[in-house]
């Protein structure tokens, strides 16, 4: 498809008339028991651990192409499908899936703004029937543009054209809470906790664009530079990646290993 059916950030009101559209594939990344109780009609469930690779101590790595092909094919997704993802926890899991799709070379996708919270709380139709999809034969065309490896981050530490955005809590960033061998943050990184982008009063939607831009610019992050987002396992920072993409940032990468990798490497610099 040359033109997207839906914007990157789609509202429940705009998705509802299209849930039966064969061009759209809706993927549910809620907890399984939630999916079994209620989900968007036609949505296929995806277990979040299937889209992350673990090589301890690094917990959030991107799967290899073979695994990606297997997962995407099992969801019945073809290159022609526009994929809409949602979850029940603020958008982190769904965003990580969309980032992974982009890594696989898939271009047409959207995040449901507010996820299941917005859909259910605002009276949209729900279903509890499991959806069984005929698998496709998806071929990954790897696109490494969204990915920052440990080596890539290390190479760009002194690059004035690259900025690091750490979206963990302030306590993690400052080293007061430690979830790796070492505490602190990658040198030069600035901090903005990922939940600051979420509007708790509007069913977990993104905050208004103007407010988001002010929030991000207040950290010193600039649209004119490359921005690398990270957290502990590129779960929270995948949400921030989609926020930046929605706001029109053109050069964004997600560090998939994030602090679970960096903070456990004794030879890497830490602040």
DSSP 8-state symbol, 64: P
Using an 8 Å Cβ cutoff, are 228 and 258 in contact? no
Q: Alpha-carbon distance 25 to 55, whole Å?
A: 30
Measured at the CA of 86, the angle between CA 82 and CA 90, to 5 degrees, comes to 145
Tokens at 249, concatenated: 């940032």
SS3 content of the chain, % helix, strand, coil (to 5): 30, 20, 50
Pairing of strands 109-112, 82-86: parallel
The strand order across the sheet containing 226-230 reads 147-148, 252-255, 226-230, 162-166, 190-191
Alpha-carbon distances of 106 from 97, 98, 145, 204, rounded to whole Å: 11, 9, 12, 26
231 is catalytic: yes
Nearest to 234 by CA among 158, 133, 143, 166: 166
Q: Choose the catalytic residue: 61, 111, 231, 238.
A: 231
Tokens at 27, concatenated: 């993927």
Dihedral angle computed from the Cα positions of residues 75, 96, 8 and 105, in that order, rounded to the nearest 10 degrees: -60
List residues with catalytic annotation: 231
């Amino acid at each position: 498809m040359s033109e997207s059916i839906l914007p990157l950030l789609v509202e429940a009101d705009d998705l509802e008339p299209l849930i039966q559209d064969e061009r759209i594939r809706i993927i549910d990344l809620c907890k399984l028991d939630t999916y079994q109780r209620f989900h968007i009609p036609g949505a296929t469930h995806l277990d979040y651990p299937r889209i992350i690779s673990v090589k301890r101590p690094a917990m959030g790595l991107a799967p290899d192409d073979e695994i990606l092909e297997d997962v995407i094919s099992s969801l019945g997704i073809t290159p022609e499908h526009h994929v809409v993802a949602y979850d029940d926890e603020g958008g982190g899991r769904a965003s990580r899936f969309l980032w992974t799709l982009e890594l696989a070379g898939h271009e047409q996708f959207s995040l449901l703004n507010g996820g299941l919270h917005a859909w259910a709380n605002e009276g949209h139709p729900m279903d509890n029937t499991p959806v069984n999809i005929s698998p496709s034969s998806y071929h990954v065309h790897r696109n490494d543009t969204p990915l920052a490896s440990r080596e890539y981050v290390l190479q760009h530490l002194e690059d004035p054209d690259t900025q690091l955005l750490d979206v963990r809590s302030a306590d993690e960033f400052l080293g007061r809470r430690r979830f790796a061998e070492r505490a602190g943050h990658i040198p030069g990184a600035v901090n903005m906790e990922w939940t600051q982008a979420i509007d708790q009063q509007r069913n977990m939607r993104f905050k208004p664009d103007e407010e988001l831009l002010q929030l991000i610019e207040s950290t010193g992050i600039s649209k004119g530079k490359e921005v690398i987002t990270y957290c502990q396992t590129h779960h929270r920072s995948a949400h921030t990646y989609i926020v930046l993409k929605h706001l029109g940032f053109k050069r964004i990468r997600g560090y998939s290993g994030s602090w679970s990798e960096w903070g456990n490497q004794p030879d890497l610099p830490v602040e």
